[in-house]
A and B are shown apart, each in its own frame.
Chain A
Amino acid sequence: MPSPSAPWTKNRRMAVMLLGVTALFFGFGFALVPLYDVFCELTGLNGRTSAATNVITTQTAGDTHRVVAVEFTSTVMPGLTWAITPQTARLEVHPGELHHVSYRVRNLSDKPVVAQAVPSVSPGLAAASFEKLECFCFSQQALDPGETRELPLAFTVKPGIDKDVQTITLAYAFFKLDDAKASPAAEIP
């Protein structure tokens, strides 16, 4: 039974303050999302590759002293009835060279389907040094029933890549997009 005088207001003030702290940390929980994204983009952690690069780094010749293997793979996520095959499974490159490869996709269903590829580079350490100059993952892909298409990819491994990295794996996860979400603007890194 609080006496309705001084201690009561003192308690009330403290409760309001603590409620403020609670609200602050609730907001902090959400703020972790952009903070984490910025952190990963800056450091290339978590396999995040930087978004489309418009400037083509005009590297004349690669660093011929070094060879890095690049492996290509892909996963079809549940709900998408596409067959996806990387046309090149493995490529040995010199850092600095520009390379072109492609993935072949086929819509196995009898309906037009829109899908989106989400890339991931491992080891995460190498993500910042893997530059995609052209990628089908920059936009959504719409395939008619039974249609087959070659999806192009142009990339370069930057010369500054960590010296411990021998092999880079580029993995794409293909997701089916709902009709609602298959709208013009889907900005995906």
Chain B
Amino acid sequence: MNTTTISDTASHHDEHDAPTGIARWLASTNHKDIGTLYLWFSLFMFFFAGALAMLVRAELFQPGLQLFQPEVFNQLTTMHGLIMIFGAIMPALVGFANWQIPLMIGAPDMAFPRLNNWSFWLLPAAGILLIATFFVPGGAISGGWTMYPPLYIQGGMAYDISILAIHILGISSIMGAINIITTILNMRAPGMTLMKMPLFVWTWLITAFLLVAVMPVLAAAITMLLTDRHFGTHFFNAAGGGDPVMFQHIFWFFGHPEVYIMILPAFGIISTTIPAFARKPLFGYASMVYAVASIAFLSFIVWAHHMFTTGMPVGGQLFFMYTTMLIAIPTGVKVFNWVATLWRGSITFETPMLFSIAFVCLFTIGGFSGLVLALVPVDIQLQDTYYVVAHFHYVLFSGSAMAIMAGVYYWLPKWSGRMYNETLGKLHFWLTAIAFNITFFPMHFLGLAGMPRRIPDYALQFADFNMISSIGGFMLGVSQLLFLYNVVQCIRRGTPAADKPWEGADTLEWTLSSPPPYHSFVTPPHIK
């Protein structure tokens, strides 16, 4: 195999059609370049939306209104959620897909390189539109990331701009998903059967199908919002015979699969790192594949668990409660398989492994609080409280975001050809893990005590836990600067990485040089 050692500077290969400078990035059709662009974009958005969260925590540091008026506060929470989901987590995972899928299945590139370029360059356009809404009259959208009418029918200019931006993001996701499915199904190296694919590829294949199925439904829902706003339709307008609750049904038909779109590839990353650092093959590979598939299927029949308080009949509540609880079974299979992979492994605790183990522990906490919320009588108490906020940050931050960090540390040596600073990485991990729990664990108590979410001010009995939570939040925010520093330092002056810096890694990308040549697997490898 190709094992050229690249001496210095970036992954520059002075080969035929590798353009240089800005043109390389603007017109790039290379999956590695596009993967890099996705990851940088998502890192930027992660810091932007993170800064919004810092402002939220600053306002909630004490009871009373200190920094922001309620309208502005609501803009901060809404945009934090929207940008983290569509601007940070999803693009980061697509970035991983771009870098890793062709390398892991032995393909020379993605199936549609030019489409890939478009998919990416739609993102900055949408990102700029979203950020710009802070400066239009009336400010950014403030009705929550779930976009419920009637607020989203009544709001100002920012609402139209945001709907446009979400349309653009949706088109980008769908094009990316089509590209990923085609790549995986048509371009695997000879001998790589479906059941020999690395689990990361499997999770992305299923995620891409989810994207193709539900992003268009979101597009339909926000198109109806738009026509209700401007073209006199009454889909969700009760005055005209429409129904606001119907929006919730359509939105959550998208919304629940969306949470799996954000977590399944994270499962894929963790299923790659844990075997590598436990130096054992993944326990129960086939059951992992079936678990992911059944989670994806179940995600389509649980949506109304977000709507238990909208006046659903008991029969409906029971149906959605049971289907929701059913999801715990395939998820449990995954958690047990990860633990079984660790069992009697020769484990070492490098930074990616630390993040992976924290993922398994903390994601499980988030899964359990999800089960608690699935119970109808409990949910009626906890709907729209901080308990829900705690729950989804355990699955989205210590789930998706920490899996992404694990993945970045794991593959950075391959992508950049250089090692990151292990000491700094471990420091980043411990600060993140501790600060995360200081921030979000008290929110469980706040929610159980009845503190509602999306409010800038609160009753005095919530003051202590909020202050703890804010202190943790600031720690968490600052710690992420270490991540940025470590990544930049690694790319600029890290020590050169070996082709396979992780002893237990066994997927195809480690057979290439670090960094891999600009065009890899031009002649497909043979998988035995």
Interface residues, chain A, CB within 8 Å of chain B? 1-2, 7, 10-11, 14-15, 18-19, 21-30, 32-33, 36-37, 40, 43, 45-47, 77, 116, 118, 122-125, 173, 175-177, 180-181, 186-189
Contacts and interface: CB of A to CB of B under 8 A. Distances in A.
Contacts of A46: 243, 245, 310-311
A11 B115 CA distance: 12
Q: Give the dominant DSSP class at B's interface.
A: helix
A13 B90 CA distance: 26
Contacts, number: 116
Q: Give the dominant DSSP class at A's interface.
A: helix
19 contacts: A1-B519, A2-B113, A10-B186, A14-B181, A14-B182, A19-B178, A25-B212, A26-B217, A36-B243, A36-B246, A37-B246, A43-B313, A46-B245, A77-B239, A173-B239, A180-B232, A181-B232, A188-B240, A188-B241
B250 A173 contact: no
Nearest to B219: A26
Interface residues of B, number: 44
A29 B250 contact: yes
A187 B241 contact: yes
Contact of A21 (B108, B111, B213, B219): B213
Residue among A14, A29, A36 with the highest chain B CB neighbour number at 10 A: A29
B217 A25 contact: yes
Contacts of A32: 217, 220, 246, 249-250, 253
A21 B182 CA distance: 14
Contact of A124 (B174, B185, B240, B312): B312
A175 B153 CA distance: 15
B112 A175 contact: no
Contact of B311 (A10, A47, A175, A177): A47
Contacts of B113: 1-2
Contacts of A47: 311
The 10 closest A-B pairs by CB, nearest first: A29-B220, A175-B239, A26-B216, A25-B216, A29-B217, A18-B178, A11-B111, A188-B241, A14-B182, A124-B311
Interface in B232-263: 232, 235, 238-241, 243, 245-246, 249-250, 253
Contact of A125 (B212, B213, B313): B313
Interface in B440-467: none
Contact of A45 (B182, B212, B316, B519): B316
A139 B433 CA distance: 61
B372 interface: no
Contacts of A26: 216-217, 219-220
A156 B185 CA distance: 61
Contacts of B239: 77, 116, 118, 173, 175-177
B499 interface: no
Interface of B: 108-109, 111-113, 115, 174, 177-179, 181-182, 185-187, 212-221, 224, 232, 235, 238-241, 243, 245-246, 249-250, 253, 310-313, 316, 519
A29 B112 contact: no
B238 A173 contact: yes
A23 B217 CA distance: 10
B238 A29 contact: no
B205 to A, nearest CB: 12
B182 A18 contact: yes
Contacts of B519: 1
A96 to B, nearest CB: 23
A59 to B, nearest CB: 26
A7 B112 CA distance: 11
A181 B250 contact: no
Contact of B241 (A7, A124, A189): A189
A91 to B, nearest CB: 22
B186 A29 contact: no
Given A7-B186, A11-B112, 8 more contacts: A1-B109, A15-B112, A15-B178, A32-B220, A46-B310, A173-B239, A180-B232, A189-B241
A18 B246 contact: no
A122 B313 CA distance: 11
B248 to A, nearest CB: 11
Given A14-B185, A29-B250, A36-B249, A22 B241 contact: no
A43 B314 CA distance: 13
A28 B108 CA distance: 36
B220 A30 contact: yes
A189 B239 CA distance: 11
Nearest to A175: B239
A186 B239 CA distance: 10
Contacts of A187: 241
A189 B241 CA distance: 7
A141 to B, nearest CB: 13
B98 to A, nearest CB: 16
Contacts of A186: 240-241
Nearest to B242: A33
Given A11-B111, A46-B311, A30 B224 contact: yes
A139 to B, nearest CB: 13
A22 B174 contact: yes
B354 to A, nearest CB: 38
B215 to A, nearest CB: 8
B289 to A, nearest CB: 21
